[in-house]
């Protein structure tokens, strides 16, 4: 895939570099020389220009990339103007970052392919982590349905997967991943991840301390589950 990332602040820089490390062709754009310097050795191409200037924007290979990502967040006006100019110039696949609800509402009027809300997602994930007292992350499938991945809380350890009974909260148990430590021929330890086949091993499989559990449900399902975990 070919991506063009506009805005190389902390979020845009990390996004661009990670996409590049995954084997994608990434073009970075920013009007600040220090941001360009920070990524120029790690991206395929970089442009130091002001994307909210239409003449400058036209210098970019907009028709030669699969997705344009507007990672500008704090400069509300620059974000909106850049998106508007991209739409005016016929760019079809635009992702844009929104830093708050107002920003998101205005971006929705542009009918973009996707609106990114990293701050909101980070806050939601932290809320879940504090509720479960363990590490977790989420992935939205639709506006109402999401996938929750979390490390088994201490209170789950030793219980069977069947006994947790995720279905009573309306959750579907998708999978579980277990970290297994092994010693090689030299006696050195290494770890690997093993996907538990709960159908084959049955739901009587005991939950281990570092198991990563993956479930799916609505936001209400997950809220009900969290409330139960906190009170029990």
Q: H helices within 133-173, ranges in order?
A: 161-164
Total of domains in the chain: 2
| Residues 51 and 31 occupy one common structural domain | yes
The CATH number for 102's domain is 3.40.50.720
Is pLDDT of 52 > 90? yes
| Residues 154 and 210 occupy one common structural domain | yes
DSSP states along 132-169 = HTS-EEEEESSSSEEEEEEEPPGGGTTSBHHHH-GGGG
Q: Last residue of some domain: 74, 93, 116?
A: 116
The CATH number for 173's domain is 3.30.70.1450
Separation CA 218–CA 207 (nearest Å):
24
Q: Last residue of some domain: 70, 86, 116?
A: 116
The segment with the largest mean pLDDT, out of 25-29, 138-142, 159-163, 175-179, is 25-29
Of the chain, the percentage scoring pLDDT greater than 70 comes to 95
| Residues 154 and 133 occupy one common structural domain | yes
What domain range is 161 assigned to? 121-231
The edge-to-edge listing of strands for the beta sheet with 25-30 is: 45-48, 25-30, 2-6, 67-70, 94-97, 114-116
Q: Which pLDDT belongs to residue 86?
A: 97
Structural contact between residues 95 and 69, judged by C-beta atoms closer than 8 angstroms = yes
Which residue do the tokens 């996938």 mark? 147
Average pLDDT over residues 178-205: 76
The edge-to-edge listing of strands for the beta sheet with 189-195 is: 136-140, 145-151, 212-218, 172-183, 189-195
Average pLDDT over residues 214-226: 89
For the stretch 126-139, pLDDT in tens is: 877 777 778 888 88
CB-facing half-sphere around the CA of 64: CA atoms within 13 A: 8
Separation CA 45–CA 29 (nearest Å):
9
| Residues 89 and 145 occupy one common structural domain | no
Is pLDDT of 70 > 90? yes
Residue 95 DSSP one-character state: E
User: Whole-prediction pTM value?
Assistant: 0.67
Separation CA 97–CA 49 (nearest Å):
19
Q: Which pLDDT belongs to residue 200?
A: 59
Give the 3-state secondary structure of residue 66: coil
Task: Give residue 191's pLDDT band: very low, low, confident or very high (50, 70, 90).
Answer: confident
């Amino acid at each position: 895939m070919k991506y063009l990332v506009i805005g190389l602040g902390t979020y845009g820089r990390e996004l661009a570099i990670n996409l590049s490390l995954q084997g994608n062709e990434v073009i970075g754009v920013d009007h600040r020389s220090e941001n360009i310097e920070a990524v120029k050795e790690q991206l395929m191409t970089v442009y130091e220009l002001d994307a909210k200037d239409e003449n400058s924007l036209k210098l970019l290979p907009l028709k030669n990339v699969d997705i344009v990502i507007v990672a500008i967040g704090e400069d509300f006006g620059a974000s909106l103007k850049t998106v508007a100019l991209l739409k005016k110039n016929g760019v079809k696949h635009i992702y844009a970052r929104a830093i708050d609800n107002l920003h998101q509402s205005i971006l929705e009027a542009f009918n973009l392919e996707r609106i990114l809300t990293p701050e909101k997602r980070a806050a939601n994930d932290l809320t879940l982590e504090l509720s479960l007292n363990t590490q977790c992350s989420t992935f939205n499938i639709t506006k109402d349905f999401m996938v929750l991945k979390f490390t088994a809380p201490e209170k789950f350890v030793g219980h069977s997967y069947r006994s947790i009974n995720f279905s009573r909260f309306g959750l579907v148990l998708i999978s579980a991943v277990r970290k297994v430590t092994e010693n090689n021929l030299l006696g050195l330890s290494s770890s690997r991840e093993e996907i538990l086949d709960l159908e084959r091993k049955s739901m009587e499989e005991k939950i281990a301390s570092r198991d990563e559990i993956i479930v799916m449900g609505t936001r209400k399902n997950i809220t009900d589950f969290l409330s139960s975990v906190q009170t029990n």
